[in-house]
Structure 1
Amino acid sequence: MTQTVTGSEVARGHRVVGELRVLACDMHQGAEQFPGGAPVVEQSGRVPRS
């Protein structure tokens, strides 16, 4: 039972990470037009260019 719950939690975590990655990608593309999105990308750990 505990293992199943843990598995669900992990799967949900990976799903959230995937969504955050897509979101960060959109933020990065939008950073050129909207500088306000740059800090959000930096928080995610992805700093393509400083």
Structure 2
Amino acid sequence: GRSNHAIANQLCMSPKTVETHVGNLFAKLGLLPAAEDHRRVLAVLTYLRQ
């Protein structure tokens, strides 16, 4: 439930690096950008269903 910036601070990396990794996870899970969906929630649900 953390923002990319908060994750970056916790892991001592740049927000851009976190953004890249999160984007890669979304791509691997087949979650394309959509304004009406919250992809972080969908990513967790997709993972739990597998």
Length-normalised TM-score, structure 1? 0.37
Structure showing the higher helix proportion among its residues: 1
